[in-house]
């Protein structure tokens, strides 16, 4: 690809992302559908980008994307919202994540017995697939609910669910990867998991608390976002080196910093500590850039072997099947109408968290996971298409 063609491609991706958001307001079809289509055009159709080269950059792209996605989701979580909507959303998140993980693990084990996955796959590998795909995407659902002006009961329910399950997926999958990496299996899996969670949450919370003070010093600075983003990358590395869950640490940091204003008000401390509109605005643009490139990346990575893509598509349908009983079980006794429940059922798109996590096992050295991204990307595509078709249909109905 020549420099001129590269620049035109980047411009095209940004334009498709921006136009896709405008089209969504008219049609309720998510913008990520067009980004994935652009990736398919660039990769499998025109062969302008090479899958092998894309696979090579994934280990570098993944931590950056994960950090930005978690900071975006965590900083938007309001403690006041959590106190009101969290019980029901938390219940929905736990039930759907558990059912999705179990259903996908069972399906993956069946696929292994059919020879579609390597013979070395254990139940731990299958649970890893379930954890990667176990939660809906906050970066797709939250903007969709806001732009479509969906009733607050439904938007809060599925929006907070997606924020919770994003964290469940990242933390759970990261812990399972750690257990599966050769040479780290000496301790009990639960000890490894507890240690990972504890270290990550503790370092993230301490860093977030310290950053509340730094925010005061950065107030009004044009470099506030740059310094904050740099600190997130450093925090990610520090937590990983300490043996903790970097994902949970970033999330803890984001929730604390995102709620800085409420903490200040509650403590009657007039420091004016807050991320500020400039930082939030810059981060929205950064999230847009990363989202545009990442969903195009997913489309470009789709391709043969077609059997793995078909398997991924089947896993995407499994997610829809297990979501129905999970959703209806979680909303027993609620005031949701039948239409609200149907809308919540189709709100299952997987996205950036699943896509990023799919690239991490092979990068960490987990045996037999080299083809896992193709399976996960296909499942992500099917869930997004389900949402893209089901969301406007249910809304009109």
* pLDDT the model gives residue 82: 62
pLDDT band at 264 (very low <50, low <70, confident <90, very high): low
pLDDT band at 360 (very low <50, low <70, confident <90, very high): confident
* pLDDT the model gives residue 134: 93
* pLDDT the model gives residue 284: 81
pLDDT digits (tens, 9 = 90+) for 187-202: 555 666 677 778 888 9
Contact 31, 204 (CB under 8 A): no
Say yes or no to pLDDT of 64 above 80: yes
* pLDDT the model gives residue 275: 64
Dihedral, CA of residue 281, residue 287, residue 293 and residue 294, to nearest 10: -170
Contact 231, 287 (CB under 8 A): no
User: What angle, 0 to 180 degrees and rounded to 10, lies between the N-to-C axes of helices 352-364 and 152-180?
Assistant: 0
Say yes or no to pLDDT of 320 above 90: yes
Please tell me the number of Cα atoms within 13 Å of 152 on its side-chain side.
3
Between 199 and 247, the more confident residue is 199
Q: In whole angstroms, what is the distance from residue 65 CA to residue 233 CA? A: 11
* pLDDT the model gives residue 348: 93
Centroid of chain to Cα 178: 19
Between 132 and 249, the more confident residue is 132
What mean pLDDT comes out for the span 130-156? 83
Q: Where is average pLDDT lowest: 41-45, 160-164, 250-254?
A: 160-164
Mean pLDDT of the chain: 83
Please tell me the number of Cα atoms within 13 Å of 199 on its side-chain side.
19
pLDDT digits (tens, 9 = 90+) for 373-393: 889 999 999 999 999 899 888
What mean pLDDT comes out for the span 104-121? 92
Say yes or no to pLDDT of 85 above 80: no
Cα angle 124-362-359, degrees, rounded to a multiple of 5: 100
Three-state SS string over the chain comes to: CCHHHHHHHHHHHHHHHHHHHHHHHHHCCCCHHHHHHHHHHHHHHCCCCCHHHHHHHHHHHHHHHHHHHHHHHHHHCCHHHHHHHHHHHHHHHHHHHHHHHHHHHHHHHHHHHCCCCCCCCCHHHHHHHHHHCCCCCHHHHHHHHHHCCCCHHHHHHHHHHHHHHHHHHHHHHHHHHHHHCCCCCCCCHHHHHHHHHHHHHHHHHHHHHHHHHHHHHHCCCCCHHHHHHHHHHHHHHHHHHCCCCHHHHHHHHHHHHHCHHHHHHHCCCCCCCCCHHHHHHHHHHHHHHHHHHHHHHHHHHCCCCHHHHHHHHHHHHHHHHHHHHHHHHHCCCCCCCHHHHHHHHHCCCCCHHHHHHHHHHHHHCCCCCCCHHHHHHHHHHHHHHHHHHHHHHHHHC
What percentage of residues in the chain have a pLDDT greater than 70? Answer: 90
Tokens of 82: 């959590």
In the chain, the domains with their CATH numbers are 58-187+288-396 (1.20.1530.20)
For residue 97, count other CB atoms closer than 10 A to its CB. Answer: 23
Radius of gyration (Cα) for the chain, nearest Å?
20
For residue 185, count other CB atoms closer than 10 A to its CB. Answer: 13
Contact 148, 296 (CB under 8 A): no
* pLDDT the model gives residue 268: 47
What mean pLDDT comes out for the span 28-46? 85
Sequence-distant (≥ 6) Cβ neighbours of residue 368 within 8 angstroms: 117, 118, 120, 121, 125
Specify the residue for token string 């500020």: 276
Sequence-distant (≥ 6) Cβ neighbours of residue 60 within 8 angstroms: none
Contact 34, 23 (CB under 8 A): yes
């Amino acid at each position: 690809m020549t420099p001129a063609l590269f620049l035109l491609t980047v411009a095209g991706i940004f334009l498709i992302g921006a136009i896709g958001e405008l089209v969504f307001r008219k049609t309720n079809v998510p913008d990520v559908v067009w980004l994935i289509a652009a990736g398919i055009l660039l990769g499998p159709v025109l062969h302008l980008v090479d899958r092998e080269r894309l696979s090579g950059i994934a280990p570098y792209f993944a931590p950056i994307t994960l950090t930005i996605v978690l900071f975006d989701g965590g900083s938007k979580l309001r403690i006041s919202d959590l106190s009101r909507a969290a019980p029901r959303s938390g219940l929905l998140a736990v039930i759907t994540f558990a059912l999705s993980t179990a259903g996908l693990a069972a399906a993956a084990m069946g696929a292994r017995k059919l020879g579609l996955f390597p013979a070395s796959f254990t139940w731990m590998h299958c649970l890893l697939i379930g954890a990667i795909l176990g939660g809906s995407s906050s970066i797709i659902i939250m903007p969709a609910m806001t732009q479509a002006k969906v009733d607050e009961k439904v938007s809060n329910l599925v929006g907070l669910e997606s924020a919770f399950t994003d964290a469940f997926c990242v933390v759970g999958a990261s812990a399972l990867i750690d257990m599966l990496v050769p040479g780290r299996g000496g301790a009990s899996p639960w000890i490894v998991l507890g240690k990972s969670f504890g270290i990550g949450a503790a370092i993230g919370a301490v860093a977030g608390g310290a950053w509340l003070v730094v925010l005061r010093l950065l107030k009004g600075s044009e470099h506030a976002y740059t310094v904050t983003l740099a600190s997130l990358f450093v925090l990610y590395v520090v937590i990983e080196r300490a043996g903790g869950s970097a994902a949970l640490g970033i999330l803890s940091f984001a929730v604390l910093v995102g709620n800085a204003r409420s903490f200040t008000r509650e403590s009657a401390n007039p420091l004016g500590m807050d991320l500020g509109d400039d930082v939030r605005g810059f981060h929205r643009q950064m999230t847009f850039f990363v989202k545009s490139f990442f969903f195009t990346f997913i489309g470009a990575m789709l391709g043969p072997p077609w059997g793995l893509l078909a398997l991924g598509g089947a896993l995407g349908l499994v997610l829809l099947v297990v979501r129905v009983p999970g959703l209806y079980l979680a909303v027993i006794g609620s005031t949701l109408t039948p239409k609200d429940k149907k809308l919540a059922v189709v709100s299952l798109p997987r996205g950036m968290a699943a896509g990023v996590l799919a690239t991490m096992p092979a990068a960490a050295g987990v045996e037999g996971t080299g083809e896992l991204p193709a399976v996960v990307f296909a499942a992500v595509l099917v869930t997004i298409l389900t949402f893209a078709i089901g969301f406007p249909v249910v809304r009109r109905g």
